[in-house]
Amino acid sequence: MAESVHFGARTVPLTEKQELVNDVFHSVARRYDVMNDLMSLGLHRAWKDALVTALDPPKRAPFSVLDIAGGTGDVALRVVAAGGPQTRVVVCDINAEMVAVGRERVEKRTRRTRSLGERAGKATGAITFMEGNAEALPFADRSFDAATVAFGIRNVPRIEQALAEVFRVVRIGGKFLCLEFSAVDVPGLDRLYDLYSFNVIPALGRVVAGDADSYRYLVESIRRFPRPEAFAAMMRSAGFARVSHKLMTGGIVALHCGWRL
């Protein structure tokens, strides 16, 4: 029998999930960033900043980061802003539309910093976008100092395969940071969170992005993602050492960290 996986609340053949996920992000790409601000009430910024703080890009040394499922470049822009002049980020995402929005965004940011007369804008040349599948990363072994993925891994059909690929492309001594929605563990907040997620977010999706179903998928997919301990175990199985995680905002989000040693 064909292998199956979750696509939100549905169970679909493994071979069909990626196409369904691609339809979601193709549909929402142009409104993706504004929707993130609205549905998280701006909190996604703090969560991503926490990832960048944990990444701790050096101020002087060269530093190369692969941002997997990096979408519109939100994490990449933050990494470059926090790092030194030799920080470089490659954003690799399977979705051409998300990548196109990201490229436009970085170009716009660069033009704006130039017009302000600032040093050619840190994003210039420091961020490269490319299309690629997390399950088969188009990079040589051990080619990055670090890898990140924010709110991307739960969309990948074969998560174990993607983790094996991250491990392969990070250099020995490099780290991997994964930010993902998790399970709320504060009594009371869990009910409120469910009410908000299942009612407000799809309604916002309908009004702002013209697509309630995609945002219903996003909410449902969060509920299907492994608990933090289970995901930490998956990272260890992929080869990562010293795996740790911290929960943020009552468990709404988990930040996992692991090292290739």
CB nearer to ligand SAM: pick between 172 and 231: 231
With CB under 6 A as the contact rule, the residue among 95, 182, 214, 221 that binds ligand SAM is: 95
CB of 156 to ligand SAM, least distance (A): 4
Chain residue at closest Cβ approach to ligand SAM: 71
Contact (CB, 8 A) for 142 and 64 = no
Is residue 70 at the binding interface for ligand SAM, with CB under 6 A as the rule? yes
Is residue 152 at the binding interface for ligand SAM, with CB under 6 A as the rule? yes
The single-letter DSSP state of residue 188 is T
With CB under 6 A as the contact rule, the residue among 40, 74, 240, 258 that binds ligand SAM is: 74
Is residue 79 at the binding interface for ligand SAM, with CB under 6 A as the rule? no
Is residue 197 at the binding interface for ligand SAM, with CB under 6 A as the rule? no
**d(Cα 79, Cα 259) in Å, to the nearest integer?**
18
Is residue 110 at the binding interface for ligand SAM, with CB under 6 A as the rule? no
End-to-end CA distance of the chain: 38
With CB under 6 A as the contact rule, the residue among 25, 144, 181, 231 that binds ligand SAM is: 25
With CB under 6 A as the contact rule, the residue among 101, 106, 126, 150 that binds ligand SAM is: 150
Q: For residue 253, what are its two tokens?
A: 């989000």
CB of 182 to ligand SAM, least distance (A): 14
DSSP SS3 for 72: coil
CB of 232 to ligand SAM, least distance (A): 20
**Spatial CA neighbour of 45 closest among 219, 53, 118:** 53
**Spatial CA neighbour of 36 closest among 192, 201, 220:** 201
**d(Cα 102, Cα 192) in Å, to the nearest integer?**
33
DSSP SS3 for 156: coil
Q: Collect all residues with Cβ–Cβ distance below 8 Å to 153 and sequence separation of at least 6.
A: 68, 69, 134, 159, 162, 163, 178, 180
CB of 244 to ligand SAM, least distance (A): 21
Give the binding-site size for ligand SAM (rule: CB under 6 A): 20
Q: Tokens 């009910």 — which residue? A: 191
Please identify, among the stretches 3-11, 93-101, 204-212, 236-244, the one whose residues bind ligand SAM according to the rule CB under 6 A: 93-101
Q: For residue 157, what are its two tokens?
A: 């059909």
Using the CB atoms, write b or e for 146-156: b if 16+ within 10 Å.
bbbbbbbbbbb
CB of 188 to ligand SAM, least distance (A): 27
List of residues contacting ligand SAM (CB under 6 A):
18, 21, 25, 69-71, 74-75, 93-95, 98, 133-135, 150-152, 155-156
